[in-house]
Amino acid sequence: MSPGVKWLIWANVVMFVLTYVLFPVLQPYLGLVPALFLDRYFLWQPVTYLFIHGGFFHIIFNMLVLWMFGVTLERMWGTRFFLKYYFICGIGAAAATILFALPPLNLISPLTNTIGASGAIYGLLVAYALYFPDQPVYMYFLFPIPMKYFILIIGGIEFFSSFSGAGQGVAHFAHLGGLAVGYLYLSFLRGGGLHPLSEIKYRYLKWKIGRVRRKFDVHPGGRTDDWDRRIH
């Protein structure tokens, strides 16, 4: 357990006990309600909502994913950058939620209370996919799939669920915001700037080279007069 992940888990657990078990009345004030943020200037909400959860399974799942992917990223980046990135994604997810609640979009009710660390968690997932694209993960704990495809699948699910109205009660726009902000932030840092077309071209060429390379793998066997008994 790395220190930053440990601090985040403890903070979430303490806030969960305070706001769900002891004082549920605090949730509308500490969660993210666009109307309260814009009209009554509850400026703390884009940060505090990350530590509020609506049930045991909600917090257990988020903390499990935070531990599974966050420890590796923190050890690679260091605690300071890891925490900075975590809150950038979480606040970016809050900004996306508020944006989609404003006219003319009005895709979210301004009175909706968004809670949970999921926006920041989705930012960690996209970071893990960028740094470890071929790392297998078990989707639904059953199907092994490379991380680069896993993040595309869950991103697509969130996108279509956001605009189709599926999965009511789930903060789809916060999830998408965390994904987008995390990807844009890391792409800018790693590439010295943001070049979407170059990134798409690079990914396509990488896939094409990988596809061709598989045709030239070295296999054991060969003819008896082959000096190293290989087929090239």
Average pLDDT, the chain: 85
Q: What is the pLDDT of residue 195?
A: 52
Give the rounded distance of the alpha carbon of 136 from its chain centre.
16
Q: pLDDT at residue 81 above 90?
A: yes
Q: What is the pLDDT of residue 232?
A: 47
Question: What domains does the chain contain, in order, with CATH numbers?
Answer: 3-194 (1.20.1540.10), 196-232 (no CATH)
Longest alpha-carbon distance in the chain: 84
Q: How confident is the model at residue 19 (pLDDT cuts 50, 70, 90)?
A: very high
Phi, psi angles (nearest 5°) of residue 105 = -70, -60
> Rg of the Cα trace of the chain?
21
Could you read off the pLDDT of 181-202 as tens digits, one per residue? 999 999 887 665 445 555 566 6
Question: Of 115, 113, 110, which is closest to residue 54 (Cα–Cα)?
Answer: 115
Q: What is the pLDDT of residue 197?
A: 55
Q: How confident is the model at residue 226 (pLDDT cuts 50, 70, 90)?
A: low
Query: CA-CA distance, 19 to 31, in Å (whole number)?
Result: 10
DSSP string of 179-221, one letter each residue: HHHHHHHHHHHHHTS--HHHHHHHHHHHHHHHHHHGGG--EE-
Of the two residues 170 and 215, the one the predictor is more confident about is 170
Q: pLDDT at residue 73 above 80?
A: yes
Q: Give the Cβ contact number of residue 229 at 10 Å.
A: 11
Query: CA-CA distance, 49 to 119, in Å (whole number)?
Result: 10
Average pLDDT over residues 162-190: 81
Q: What is the pLDDT of residue 141?
A: 72
Tell whether the torsion through CA atoms of 99, 182, 68 and 149 is positive or negative.
positive
Query: CA-CA distance, 162 to 79, in Å (whole number)?
Result: 33
Q: pLDDT at residue 94 above 90?
A: yes
Average pLDDT over residues 128-135: 91
Of the two residues 140 and 131, the one the predictor is more confident about is 131
Q: Which residue has the tokens 């975590």?
A: 86
Taking the complete model, does pTM exceed 0.75, yes or no? yes
Average pLDDT over residues 4-27: 94
Q: Which residues pair with 219 in a beta bridge?
A: 231
Q: pLDDT at residue 97 above 60?
A: yes
Query: CA-CA distance, 123 to 30, in Å (whole number)?
Result: 21
DSSP three-state, residue 147: helix
Of the two residues 142 and 57, the one the predictor is more confident about is 57
Average pLDDT over residues 13-26: 93
Q: How far is CA 30 from CA 5, 25, 26, in A?
A: 21, 10, 6
Q: pLDDT at residue 110 above 50?
A: yes
Q: What is the pLDDT of residue 104?
A: 84
Residue pair 175/122 in contact by the 8 Å Cβ criterion:
yes
Query: CA-CA distance, 34 to 99, in Å (whole number)?
Result: 9
Q: Which residues pair with 146 in a beta bridge?
A: 136
